[in-house]
């Protein structure tokens, strides 16, 4: 598979009155053509900031790149001008957000919002636009397209609005779509429909998807590979099977223990991860998870672990992988992917 995007040692921070928030710290990963990569972690772990760096959606200032590069088709996104970014954002790299109402224009009819993108991209003649817009609405499962074309966003249900957002993301036929918590605001039935739709379209169009979520159930259903983020860093990465069946990081194990599975009894309490994420104004010198980790050793508080290789695909940033570390069996490492409730 060919690499479509390469992120190398990326650090991104925000200047605030309270100091500099180091939101993303030395993150590296690749996206291959036609794959779905999930980025998972709790709120504030840096997953959304990382995704927004890829299309320069973080406000700059106060946000700024401290170091690193994002290589897309031979050009570095971190160095692009606004004009260059406008040619990529929404065209070559599409995006779908959690709340469609923040992205859809409430004063413009659905059809016109899709056509506006055709106009911006100079894609079709005026005559062709409407039939193309209806075609795309049909592709995302909106059957009564003619009626929806003439409606405003507030006239549509949450699931329908999210389908429209997907339609808009697809208009430029992008190589990559970034989907940031695309189903969090939807109920479970609609969530399943939207995820199925995304997966079907991804297969049909061979688009790569970067899926940002806090939900391992969504990861299990959708992704080929997973990046687990914590404290602005990628603490574990691997295939979905690596993460579910062979977890090597206590934080990933904690996430797995905190989700419901088919074996969870109705009244059984799930195990939350105790404690709070690190203060990114002054991140700890050692492992960012040390303050919450039941296996933390002295070295964990003092020195950042490097990334240990479990297999070619599976890597983890944890001192427990050191040859002299005590042997530990993580409690949720045998969680069955198929048992996770979606
Ligand atoms: Fe826990 Fe230490 Fe591993 Fe961090 S490096 S996750 S503190 S054992």
Q: Are strands 36-40 and 225-230 parallel, antiparallel or unpaired?
A: parallel
DSSP lists the bridge partners of residue 243 as none
Task: Answer for the pair 244, 211: CB distance below 8 angstroms, yes or no.
Answer: no
Express each pLDDT in 225-268 by its tens digit: 999 999 999 999 999 999 999 999 999 999 988 876 555 555 55
C-beta neighbour count of 85 within 10 angstroms: 15
CA distance linking residue 142 with residue 44, whole number of Å? 34
Q: What count of Cα atoms within 13 Å lies in the side-chain half-sphere of residue 236?
A: 26
Distance 289 CA to ligand 1 centre (A): 6
Please state which CATH number belongs to domain 3-223: 3.40.50.300
278 in contact with ligand 1, CB cutoff 6 A: no
Phi, psi of 303 (to 5 degrees): -130, 135
* Full 3-state SS string of 76-103: EHHHCCHHHHHHHECCCEEEECCCHHHH
CA distance linking residue 156 with residue 158, whole number of Å? 7
Mutate to test the pocket of ligand 1, among 289, 292, 298, 326 (most ligand atoms within 8 A of CB): 289
Distance 102 CA to ligand 1 centre (A): 38
The confidence score (pLDDT) of residue 211 equals 94
The confidence score (pLDDT) of residue 342 equals 44
Express each pLDDT in 90-116 by its tens digit: 888 988 887 777 778 899 999 998 888
Cα end-to-end distance, the chain, whole Å:
29
Task: Answer for the pair 313, 225: CB distance below 8 angstroms, yes or no.
Answer: yes
Q: Which atom of ligand 1 is nearest to the CA of 293?
A: 1
Express each pLDDT in 120-178 by its tens digit: 777 788 888 888 899 889 888 888 889 999 999 999 888 888 888 888 888 878 899 99
What mean pLDDT value characterizes the chain?
A: 88
Task: Supply 186's token pair.
Answer: 């939807």
Distance 72 CA to ligand 1 centre (A): 33
C-beta neighbour count of 325 within 10 angstroms: 16
Distance 243 CA to ligand 1 centre (A): 16
The confidence score (pLDDT) of residue 334 equals 45
Classify 64 as helix, strand or coil.
Answer: strand
pTM for the model stands at: 0.90
Classify 115 as helix, strand or coil.
Answer: helix
What are the residue boundaries of the structural domains of the chain, listed by start? 3-223, 230-340
Distance 295 CA to ligand 1 centre (A): 6
Residue 186 has pLDDT above 50, yes or no: yes
Of 100-104, 189-193, 207-211, the range with the lowest mean pLDDT is 100-104
Task: Supply 331's token pair.
Answer: 């409690």
Task: Answer for the pair 222, 195: CB distance below 8 angstroms, yes or no.
Answer: yes
* Residue predicted with more confidence, 29 or 118: 29
Q: What percent of the chain has a predicted confidence (pLDDT) above 70?
A: 93
- Positive or negative, the Cα torsion across 139, 140, 142, 148? negative
Task: Answer for the pair 153, 104: CB distance below 8 angstroms, yes or no.
Answer: yes
């Amino acid at each position: 598979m060919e690499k479509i995007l390469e992120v190398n040692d990326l650090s991104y921070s925000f200047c605030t009155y309270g100091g500099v928030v180091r939101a993303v710290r030395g993150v590296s990963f690749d996206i291959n053509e036609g794959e779905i990569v999930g980025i998972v972690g709790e709120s504030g772990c840096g997953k959304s900031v990382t995704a927004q760096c890829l299309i320069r959606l973080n406000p700059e200032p106060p946000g700024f790149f401290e170091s690193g590069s994002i290589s897309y088709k031979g050009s570095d996104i971190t160095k692009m001008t606004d004009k260059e970014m406008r040619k990529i954002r929404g065209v070559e790299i599409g995006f779908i957000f959690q709340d469609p109402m923040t992205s859809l224009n409430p004063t413009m009819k659905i059809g016109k919002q899709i056509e506006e993108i055709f106009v911006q991209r100079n894609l079709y003649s005026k005559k062709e636009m409407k039939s193309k817009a209806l075609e795309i609405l049909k592709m995302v499962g909106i059957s009564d397209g003619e009626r929806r074309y003439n409606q405003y966003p507030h006239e549509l249900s949450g699931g329908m609005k999210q389908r429209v957002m997907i339609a808009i993301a697809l208009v430029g036929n992008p190589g990559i779509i970034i989907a940031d918590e695309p189903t969090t605001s939807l109920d479970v039935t609609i969530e399943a429909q939207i995820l199925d739709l995304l997966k079907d379209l991804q297969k049909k169009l061979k688009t790569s998807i970067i899926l940002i979520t806090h939900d391992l159930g969504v990861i299990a259903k959708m992704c080929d590979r997973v990046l687990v983020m914590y404290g602005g860093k990628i603490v574990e990465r691997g295939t979905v099977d690596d993460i579910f069946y062979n977890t090597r990081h206590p934080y990933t194990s904690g996430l797995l223990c905190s989700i419901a599975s088919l074996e969870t009894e109705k009244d059984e309490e799930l195990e939350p991860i105790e404690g709070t994420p690190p203060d990114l104004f002054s991140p700890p010198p050692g492992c960012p998870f040390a303050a919450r980790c039941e296996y933390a050793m002295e070295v964990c508080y003092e020195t950042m672990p490097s990334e240990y290789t479990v297999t070619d695909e599976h890597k983890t940033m944890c001192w427990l992988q050191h040859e002299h570390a005590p042997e530990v069996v993580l409690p949720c490492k045998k969680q069955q992917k198929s048992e996770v409730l979606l």
